[in-house]
A and B are shown apart, each in its own frame.
Chain A
Amino acid sequence: DTEVTQTPKHLVMGMTNKKSLKCEQHMGHRAMYWYKQKAKKPPELMFVYSYEKLSINESVPSRFSPECPNSSLLNLHLHALQPEDSALYLCASSQTGQGAEAFFGQGTRLTVV
């Protein structure tokens, strides 16, 4: 199983809503990532979890709250988002050694209205 599964594939939410994005992998990877990709831009790193601990937070606003309940799961909790937060949110996982390529999920297309 070399898949990273993200749910939902599409999400439309209002600015007062609370929602969560979910990501799951069963490759035994101990590093998991959230990236954000706007149209015609490269993916931008948001968070890195290593061994279920948050190791990198790239100055992401607090309306985005990551959670890593166990080594296979990664969540991104969303609250009070703005329309400019609309983007493709990509989850990835990798081994933790050097040279470990990241496997990406298909992403969640988020629209904030």
Chain B
Amino acid sequence: DQQVKQNSPSLSVQEGRISILNCDYTNSMFDYFLWYKKYPAEGPTFLISISSIKDKNEDGRFTVFLNKSAKHLSLHIVPSQPGDSAVYFCAASNSNSGYALNFGKGTSLLVTP
């Protein structure tokens, strides 16, 4: 049973515009959320995270928003750059379960020049 869902398998955005990647979760015990970026034939690379006690975290061009009541989070990338083209995974963890990550299926982002 998929506890973390990314319902958009792909997204195409023009360079310079905003990319918004969405993620929903079902397990209310999750208390930490992370976004990872993955290129083919490489392991996931950590991008940004947010604790369940916050509703926003910003790091440069990347901002993650958390809506706990809706069990929804989103990653905003602005401005988008061609080098951002990759698969983005949303992940969630529960501090009572050893910090293991539950991943969504990923969204493939393509940023076109």
Contacts and interface: CB of A to CB of B under 8 A. Distances in A.
Interface of A: 4, 6, 31, 33, 35, 40-45, 48, 50, 55-56, 90, 92, 94, 96, 98-107, 109
B107 to A, nearest CB: 11
Indicate the member of B31, B43, B45, B104 with the most A CB atoms within 10 Å: B43
24 contacts: A33-B101, A41-B105, A42-B103, A42-B104, A42-B105, A43-B101, A44-B103, A48-B98, A55-B98, A56-B98, A92-B101, A94-B99, A96-B99, A98-B31, A99-B49, A101-B34, A102-B101, A104-B36, A104-B43, A104-B45, A105-B43, A106-B42, A107-B41, A107-B42
Given A33-B101, A50-B98, 7 more contacts: A43-B44, A43-B101, A90-B44, A98-B32, A98-B95, A100-B99, A104-B44
A48 B100 contact: yes
Contacts of B43: 4, 6, 90, 92, 104-107
B25 interface: no
Nearest to A47: B100
B1 to A, nearest CB: 12
Interface of B: 4, 31-32, 34, 36, 41-46, 49, 51, 89, 95, 97-106
A99 B100 contact: no
A62 B34 CA distance: 30
Contacts of A6: 43
A42 B106 contact: yes
A31 B99 contact: yes
Contacts of A50: 98
A105 B46 CA distance: 11
A42 B32 CA distance: 18
A55 B106 CA distance: 27
A2 to B, nearest CB: 10
A4 B46 CA distance: 13
Contacts of B89: 42-43
Contacts of B44: 43, 90, 104
A23 B4 CA distance: 27
Contact of B97 (A35, A56, A90, A109): A56
